[in-house]
Structure 1
Amino acid sequence: MPAYIIVQVDISDPQQYEAYKKLTPDTVKAFGGKFVLRGNPVEALEGSWDHDRLVMLEFADKETARKWYYSKEYQAAKEIRESAAKAKFFLVES
């Protein structure tokens, strides 16, 4: 069953965040994942949205999504992201 990682991001250092964005796609691809969307700005049709960016990744299943998130390869990129942005990651199955 497909699984999705949904991420809300607030960027504090755009230049450093660009470095993170360059590293992440190869790590996602290595686990058979893909970007469903990488968007900003987000238009709130109901409620409010006060974040800089919304990202959605798709993986074959939750186990693979977790393996990607905790992988050595992604952890190196994550370290860069943590110095450039605050993010919340959510894992859901379809």
Structure 2
Amino acid sequence: MTVYIIAQLKFTRRELYDRYQARFMGVFSKFKGRLLVADEHPVVLEGDWPRDKIVIMEFPDDAAAKEFQNSAEYREISVDRKAGADAIVLTARGLR
């Protein structure tokens, strides 16, 4: 079953987040995921959304998503993401 990782970010130290972002695709491309959305200007249709960016990644299954999330390579660069942005990160199972 397809699994999505969804991140909603509020930048706190943009220079650190930018350093993370510059290294992200080099790490991400080693895994079985697809980057579907990385938007710093989403349009809010309803409600209050006090964030700056949304990221949606697709993985073929839960194991692939966890392999990426728990990899040494991602943990290394995620230090800058965590220092540079307040994030809500979750997984969601697809319908298939």
Sort the TM-score into its range (normalised by shorter chain).
over 0.9
1:2-21 matches, cutoff 5 A:
2-21=2-21
Q: Which runs of 4+ in 1 moved over 2 A?
A: none
TM-score (ref. length: structure 2): 0.91
2:26 and 2:44 map into 1 onto residues whose CA distance is 30
Structure 1 residues 2-32: Cα deviation after superposition (integer angstroms, max 9, x where no partner): 1110000011111211110011112222111
Q: Percent identity?
A: 27
CA RMSD after TM alignment: 1.0
Look up the match of 2:56: 56
Structure 1 residues 41-87: Cα deviation after superposition (integer angstroms, max 9, x where no partner): 22111112110110001111111101110110000111111111111
The count of residues paired between Structure 1 and Structure 2 equals 94
1:54 and 1:93 map into 2 onto residues whose CA distance is 17
Unaligned stretches of 5+ residues in structure 1? none
